[in-house]
Amino acid sequence: MQVNGGGSVGSASSNLSTPASSSASANAAAAAAAAAASASAFLGESDLQDLSLEIERERSEYLEKSKSLQEQLRTLKNEIEELKLDDRVSVLDQLHREQAEQVHLLKIF
């Protein structure tokens, strides 16, 4: 390719930003829509039912996993709260608790 004083290279790049490029993207979108329509024509009723069942099964699995993760999150939050409470207990509070347990054990025997 020969370039003579700002020749064809500059004009080629200016063509990329013209309205022709926006009509090309519109044509591509129309072609994609036509392809999707023709693909649905090739799918039979049983194929559509199979896809619907698969989507419903995956949705159900997702909901089960989500419920399980919510339960795990709730458990972890409770454990964290318990640990926070333990951190707030002073040494004297811990000593009192241990002595109270010892007294309770002595009363049993």
Ramachandran assignment for 18, one of left (phi > 0), alpha (psi -120 to 50 degrees), beta (any other): beta
pLDDT in tens, 29-77: 677 666 656 655 667 788 889 999 999 999 999 999 999 999 999 999 9
Residue 94 lies in a domain: yes
CA distance 4 to 9: 9
The single-letter DSSP state of residue 33 is H
Residue 4 in any domain: the answer is no
Assigned domain for 75 exists: yes
Reference 39, options 50, 48, 29; nearest CA is 48
Q: Which residue has the higher pLDDT, 11 or 23?
A: 23
Joined together, the tokens standing for residue 67 give 């419920």
The tens digit of pLDDT for each residue in 14-29 reads 444 444 445 666 676 6
- Residue 14 domain-assigned? no
Q: Which amino acid is located at 101 in the chain?
A: E
Write down the pLDDT at residue 93: 85
**CA-CA distance, 91 to 83, in Å (whole number)?**
15
For residue 70, is it within any domain? yes
Domain assignment present for residue 29? The answer is: no
Residue 22 has what pLDDT? 53
Q: How many residues belong to the chain?
A: 109
Task: State the residue range of the domain holding 66.
Answer: 44-108
- Structural domain contains residue 20: no
Whether the Cβ atoms of residue 3 and residue 9 lie closer than 8 Å to each other: yes
pLDDT of residue 92: 86
Residue 92 forms part of a structural domain? yes
Instruction: Tell me which amino acid residue 52 is.
Output: S
Domains: count for the chain:
1
**85-109 per-position pLDDT tens digit:** 777 778 888 889 899 988 887 777 6
89 Cβ neighbours under 8 A, 6+ residues apart: 97
Whether this model's pTM surpasses 0.85: no
